[in-house]
A = this chain, B = another copy of it.
Amino acid sequence: MTKEVSSQDIEAAEALFRDFLRDRGLKYTPERRMLLLEVLNTPQHFEAEQLLIAMRQSGKRVAKATIYRTLPLLAECGIIKQVQFEDNLARYEPILGQAPHDHMVCGQCRRIIEFDSSEVATLRDEIAARHRFVAAGHRFQIIGLCSACSEAEGKERPDATQVQGEELSYEL
């Protein structure tokens, strides 16, 4: 279930990032490139720490400070996006070729299910318009119980394998 990233996507991302940096008088350093590649390889949400560990395992060494300094840049140029869950922790997710989506979080097993956000965006724009507000984006999250947990109601936590359907789901 690993998200595939084509070499085309990688090139596009690199071009995007490089141009973004150049336009601001910033440099495309090996560290930034390594981070970009690592991020593109990350199937889902991640936080600074996880990225650091993953990189160490592939022998790519960067200081944590560099990660903290680079993530905002990647977010600003639209390669990744910050997402918030209950724990107030800075998480990010790659969004480059991804269709806009929001998340459903199971309060029991912490499983996260993504769903297309177009309807939400439509409603968002309607509501915003009513208040003479110009919507640029939104943050939406449904909290509840996934099918497995609502069926198990009261029983022990079902293990992840028994519920993997065709749905894109993963854990916090």
- Chain A interface mostly: mixed
Give A38-77 interface residues, CB cut-off 8 Å to B.
none
Quick one: copies of this chain in the complex?
A: 2
Q: What does the 1/0 interface line of A105-137 toward B look like (CB < 8 Å)? A: 011000001010001100110011011111111
Given A90-B88, A136-B107, A137-B144, A123 contacting B131 (CB threshold 8 A): no
Contact A143 B147 (CB under 8 A): no
A93→B159 CA distance, assembly (Å)? 35
The contact size tier of chain A is 35 or more
- Contact residues in B for A119 (Cβ distance below 8 Å): 123, 127
Contact A142 B147 (CB under 8 A): no
Q: List 8 A-B contacts (CB under 8 A).
A: A84-B84, A88-B89, A104-B127, A113-B133, A119-B127, A133-B142, A133-B150, A140-B141
